[in-house]
């Protein structure tokens, strides 16, 4: 699964994704479910918008935490995701993600990045959800797949990272579902790194650069 990620390289974000950045965009070091996250959609041109992380299917009657991940193997079959996969795909922007490995001192968080430390895009889905009061919320989920050789020692799943060459195809309404499924594979387009970080990342209340520090040795 993918339950936490970061997006603080704002300089590269605006260079790599030159769309209108929301005025209130801030560096984020510890993005957690139910929070607002930046994503790109194709709405008569590429647009960057905020979405609530935790997809709520249109038929859900009450607000909940939502579904933060969708398994790539079954995303086109599950009722919760099938319609979004066909019609509402997005690029969820990040510069790293976290997973935890059980060690002697407890669960140790690791941050995974591209070696170049650049911003990249997760394959995402989005869905507008209307509350019983008539308020509409745009919600989203990250698609996951089996881990590559970098992530596997820590966790058996990882988010689908789309190569830059496939991002526009992912957003294109004309791309066939069968073609889209071929993209839901472990990332192998370039080197990745895994770095142990502070256990302060365990709490979503901690959203500052110090969570990237190496763990304290006991």
| Rounded distance between C-alpha atoms, residue 25 and residue 10, angstroms | 9
CB 32 within 8 A of CB 4: yes
Exposed e or buried b for every residue in 76-113, given b needs 16+ CB within 10 A?
beeebbbebbeebbbbbbbbbbbbbeeeeeeebbbbbb
**99 in catalytic set:** yes
Strand partners, 109: 100
| Rounded distance between C-alpha atoms, residue 118 and residue 113, angstroms | 8
Catalytic residue among 90, 99, 127, 167: 99
CA dihedral 66, 40, 24, 4 (to 10 degrees): 40
Q: For strand 28-31 and strand 5-7, is the pairing parallel, antiparallel, or unpaired?
A: antiparallel
Catalytic residue among 2, 90, 127, 167: 2
Q: Which of 184, 216, 214, 198 is nearest to 4 (CA)?
A: 198
**140 in catalytic set:** no
User: Which are the catalytic amino acids?
Assistant: 2, 99
């Amino acid at each position: 699964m993918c339950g936490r990620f970061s997006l603080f390289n704002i300089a590269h974000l605006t260079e790599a994704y030159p769309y209108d950045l929301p005025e209130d965009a801030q560096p984020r070091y510890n993005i957690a479910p139910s929070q607002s996250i930046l994503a790109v959609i194709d709405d008569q041109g590429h647009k960057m918008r905020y979405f609530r992380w935790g997809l709520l299917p249109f038929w859900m009657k009450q607000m909940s935490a939502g579904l933060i991940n969708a398994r790539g193997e079954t995303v086109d079959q599950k009722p919760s995701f099938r319609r979004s996969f066909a019609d509402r795909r997005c690029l969820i922007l990040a510069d790293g993600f976290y997973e935890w490995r059980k060690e002697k001192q407890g669960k140790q968080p690791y941050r995974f990045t591209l070696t170049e430390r650049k911003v990249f895009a997760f394959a995402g889905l989005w869905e507008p959800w209307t509350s019983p009061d008539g308020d509409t919320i745009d919600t989203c989920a990250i698609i996951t797949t089996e881990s590559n050789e970098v992530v596997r020692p820590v966790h058996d799943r990882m988010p689908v990272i789309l190569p830059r060459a496939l991002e526009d195809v992912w957003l294109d309404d004309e791309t066939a579902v069968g073609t889209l499924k071929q993209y839901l594979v472990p990332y192998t387009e370039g080197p990745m790194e895994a770095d142990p970080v502070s256990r302060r990342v365990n709490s979503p209340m901690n959203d500052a650069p110090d969570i990237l520090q190496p763990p304290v040795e006991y």
